[in-house]
């Protein structure tokens, strides 16, 4: 067979070289193919790793979610169709977990996005020692979340730092860890503090890309700093905001480690820190009910997907520069 006659797939071509106008020489196609192949060869370790540790588990989880899985004392699968999915509708704890998670997302994502934007704007201005501030602000993001949680739990202790500070200011004190009305909010505060700086760095990078001439033009037109921020910075950063919100939503929907450490794995007090992922963990590893746990995981994936699609509609096309 004549390899030169075969058509190279379109994406192969794009990968190798920018498309050329006019008639291509015969040699070019076989070269493109070769390059494509070597590309795959180089990618094969990654393809393999992602395949084994990501793609296959996803497909397998989907398969498990349609089965009643028996693990202890002889592994057994029994196909039960969508029964695991209908079970979620009747599961009080699943509904509580979903409610907690939704509340968490709705509060944390807007707050951390606004905070990140404001911090970035502050660091983008010409204040003194901004490099030092960048490092200080970024520190929480580099720290392991387990360590952060444990430190915060000490600070949240009824006799801890935060309550001492509040009572020093004659403000009401709270039982941050054990009061069901407060526990989730304690986690929110901690998480906003820890993740906002990460998004701040992304905003900061994008802000430094905005041309000074735009601001100059606005200054000539008589805009003050606030108008410049609202009418220039924020609209230009819209694609970045899309990214920040999407990543924020995905991250917050998957809240697990903090609530796990906070409640010692139980989701208490009174299910107030029970999140969807924590519930999945409980079903998967405490009750060893892999089928139902997988079904919950698939449901969560669908929810995140739908929310992301809605956001995409809301923010329009994502493009940094037109």
Partner 1 sequence: MKFNKMLAAVGVTGMLVGTALAGCSSDSSGDGGSSDGEQVTVELAGWGSTPEEKELLNQTLQEFEDAHPNIKVEHEVIADQYMDVMKTRLVGGEAADVFYLDAFEAPGLAKTGVLEPLNDYITDEFDVDDFQDPLLNAFKFDDKQYGFPKDFSTLALFYDKKAFEEAGLEGPPKTWDELREYAEKLTVDEDGDGQPDQYGLGFSSELARQFYKLQPYGANVVNENDEAAFASDHAIDALKPIVDMKQNKIAALPSDVGTDWGGDMFGQGKAAMVIEGNWTVPFLENNFSDKDYATAELPTVNGEKATAAFTVAYVMNKQSEVKDAAWELISYLTGKEGMKTWTSKGLALPTRESVAAELGFDEDPIRKAFVEGASYAQPWQAGPNLPTINNNFNNQFTSALLGDQSLEEALKKAQETANKEIKASN
Binding span for partner 1 by CB under 8 A among 67-75, 205-213, 216-224, 248-256: 67-75
Q: How far apart are CA 263 and CA 266, in angstroms?
A: 5
180 interacts with partner 1 by CB under 8 A: yes
To the nearest whole angstrom, how small is the minimum distance from the Cβ of residue 55 to partner 1? 13
Three-state SS sequence of 218-269: HHHCCCCHHHHHHHHHHHHCHHHHHHHHHHHHHHHHCCCHHHHHHHCCCCCC
The one among 106, 270, 305, 310 contacting partner 1 by CB under 8 A: 270
10 interacts with partner 1 by CB under 8 A: no
Largest pairwise CA distance in the chain: 86
57 interacts with partner 1 by CB under 8 A: no
The one among 60, 165, 225, 285 contacting partner 1 by CB under 8 A: 285
- Phi (first) and psi of residue 297, to 5 degrees: -65, -40
266 interacts with partner 1 by CB under 8 A: yes
Q: How far apart are CA 265 and CA 286, in angstroms?
A: 10
31 interacts with partner 1 by CB under 8 A: no
To the nearest whole angstrom, how small is the minimum distance from the Cβ of residue 280 to partner 1? 13
What are the helix (H) ranges across the chain?
Answer: 10-16, 26-50, 56-64, 83-89, 92-124, 130-142, 145-156, 161-168, 183-207, 212-220, 225-228, 234-236, 238-253, 257-263, 276-281, 290-315
The one among 40, 60, 79, 225 contacting partner 1 by CB under 8 A: 40
131 interacts with partner 1 by CB under 8 A: no
Q: Is 114 or 150 the residue whose CB approaches partner 1 more closely?
A: 150
Binding span for partner 1 by CB under 8 A among 90-98, 102-110, 141-149, 310-318: 90-98
The one among 160, 229, 236, 315 contacting partner 1 by CB under 8 A: 160
The one among 90, 221, 317, 322 contacting partner 1 by CB under 8 A: 90
To the nearest whole angstrom, how small is the minimum distance from the Cβ of residue 157 to partner 1? 4
239 interacts with partner 1 by CB under 8 A: no
132 interacts with partner 1 by CB under 8 A: no
143 interacts with partner 1 by CB under 8 A: no
Q: Is 140 or 268 the residue whose CB approaches partner 1 more closely?
A: 268
Q: How far apart are CA 312 and CA 8, in angstroms?
A: 33
To the nearest whole angstrom, how small is the minimum distance from the Cβ of residue 279 to partner 1? 11
Residues 6+ away with beta carbon under 8 Å from 78: 67, 68, 70
Residues 6+ away with beta carbon under 8 Å from 186: 152, 156, 176, 177, 262
14 interacts with partner 1 by CB under 8 A: no
Q: Is 199 or 283 the residue whose CB approaches partner 1 more closely?
A: 283
The one among 54, 205, 288, 310 contacting partner 1 by CB under 8 A: 288
Q: Which two three-digit tokens encode residue 170?
A: 């004659």
Q: How far apart are CA 171 and CA 105, in angstroms?
A: 27
98 interacts with partner 1 by CB under 8 A: no
Q: Which two three-digit tokens encode residue 255?
A: 């809240």
Q: Is 72 or 220 the residue whose CB approaches partner 1 more closely?
A: 72
User: Token pair 């008639």 is at which residue?
Assistant: 23
CB 61 within 8 A of CB 297: yes
Q: Which residues pair with 70 in a beta bridge?
A: 76
Binding site for partner 1 (CB under 8 A): 1, 3, 6, 33, 36-37, 40-41, 44-45, 47-48, 51-52, 71-75, 87, 90-93, 157-160, 175, 177-180, 265-266, 268-271, 285-289, 292
């Amino acid at each position: 067979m004549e390899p030169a006659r075969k058509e190279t797939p379109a994406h192969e071509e794009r990968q190798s070289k920018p498309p050329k106008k006019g008639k291509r020489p015969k040699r070019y196609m076989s070269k493109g193919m070769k390059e494509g192949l070597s590309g795959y060869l180089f990618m094969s370790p990654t393809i393999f790793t992602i395949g084994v540790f990501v793609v296959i588990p996803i497909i397998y989880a989907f398969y498990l979610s349609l089965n009643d899985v028996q693990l202890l004392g002889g592994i057994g699968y029994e196909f039960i169709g969508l029964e695991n999915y209908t079970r979620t509708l009747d599961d009080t704890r699943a509904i509580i977990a979903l409610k907690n998670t939704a509340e968490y997302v709705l509060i944390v994502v807007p707050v951390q996005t606004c905070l990140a934007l404001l911090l970035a704007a502050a660091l983008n201005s010409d204040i003194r020692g901004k490099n030092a501030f960048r490092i200080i602000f970024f520190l929480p993001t580099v720290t392991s979340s387990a360590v952060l949680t444990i430190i915060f739990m000490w600070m949240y202790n009824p006799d801890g730092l935060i309550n001492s500070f509040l009572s020093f200011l004659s403000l009401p004190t709270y039982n941050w860890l054990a009061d069901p009305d407060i526990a989730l909010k304690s986690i929110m505060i901690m998480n906003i503090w820890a993740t906002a700086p990460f998004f701040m760095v992304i905003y900061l990078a994008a802000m430094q890309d905005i041309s000074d001439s735009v601001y100059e033009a606005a200054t000539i037109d008589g805009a003050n700093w606030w108008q410049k921020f609202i009418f220039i910075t924020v609209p230009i950063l819209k694609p970045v905001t899309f990214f920040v919100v999407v990543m924020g939503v995905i991250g917050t929907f998957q809240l697990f480690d903090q609530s796990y450490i906070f409640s010692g794995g139980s989701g208490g007090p009174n299910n107030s820190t029970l999140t969807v992922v924590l519930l999945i963990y409980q079903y998967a590893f405490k009750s060893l009910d892999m089928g139902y746990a997988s079904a919950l995981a698939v449901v969560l994936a669908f929810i995140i997907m739908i929310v992301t699609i809605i956001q995409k509609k809301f923010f329009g096309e994502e493009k940094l520069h037109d």
